[in-house]
């Protein structure tokens, strides 16, 4: 339940952070945020999946990296990073377009558009990632 709440809270938190970053530091900082957030999302989703008691070969498991069998790290992180790249990328485009002609404050409309766009991107990318490699473990 907590994991689901955090997963849902990620998207509006990213839109708010992207807005502040775009307004304060410009497009290059927004691009850096996009790439960094995507990589972090991929790693944290991997930790969530492989952190369970019955998944990802619990033998030789380090709390931060899978030492004994890197197959799961190599297999899951790129798929979840792809989801982050698409979802955060769509939200970044919405924020960038709306920040160009908006005031200094994040409007509720921009927050809603960015959040919905990132959710739609996450769902589409999750379906694509599942079809490509996440279910092929």
Look at residue 68 in the predicted model and tell me its pLDDT.
46
**How large a percentage of the chain has pLDDT more than 90?**
36
Domain boundaries, the chain: 2-134
Give the residue, 114 or 105, on which the prediction is more confident.
114
Q: Which residues pair with 61 in a beta bridge?
A: 66
Mean pLDDT of 108-115: 90
Under a CB-based contact definition with an 8 Å cutoff, are residues 110 and 102 in contact?
yes
Distance between CA atoms of residues 121 and 137, nearest Å: 23
> pLDDT, tens digit, for every residue of 38-47?
999 988 888 7
Give the model's confidence band at 72: pLDDT under 50 very low, under 70 low, under 90 confident, else very high. confident
Look at residue 37 in the predicted model and tell me its pLDDT.
95
Nearest to 122 by CA among 37, 57, 58, 55: 37
Give the model's confidence band at 116: pLDDT under 50 very low, under 70 low, under 90 confident, else very high. very high
Distance between CA atoms of residues 113 and 110, nearest Å: 5
- Tokens 């839109």: give the residue: 15
């Amino acid at each position: 339940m907590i994991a689901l709440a955090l997963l849902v809270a990620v998207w509006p938190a990213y839109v708010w952070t992207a807005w502040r970053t775009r307004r304060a530091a410009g497009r290059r900082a927004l691009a850096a945020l996009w790439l960094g957030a995507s990589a972090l999302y991929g790693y944290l989703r991997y930790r969530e999946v492989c952190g369970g008691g019955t998944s990802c070969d619990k033998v030789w498991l380090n709390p931060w990296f899978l030492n004994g069998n890197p197959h799961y790290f190599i297999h899951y992180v790129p798929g979840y990073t792809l989801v982050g790249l698409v979802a955060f990328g769509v939200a970044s485009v919405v924020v960038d377009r709306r920040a160009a002609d908006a005031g200094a404050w994040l409007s509720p409309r921009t927050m809603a558009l960015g959040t919905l766009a990132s959710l739609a991107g996450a769902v589409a990318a999750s379906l694509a990632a599942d079809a490509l490699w996440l279910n092929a473990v």
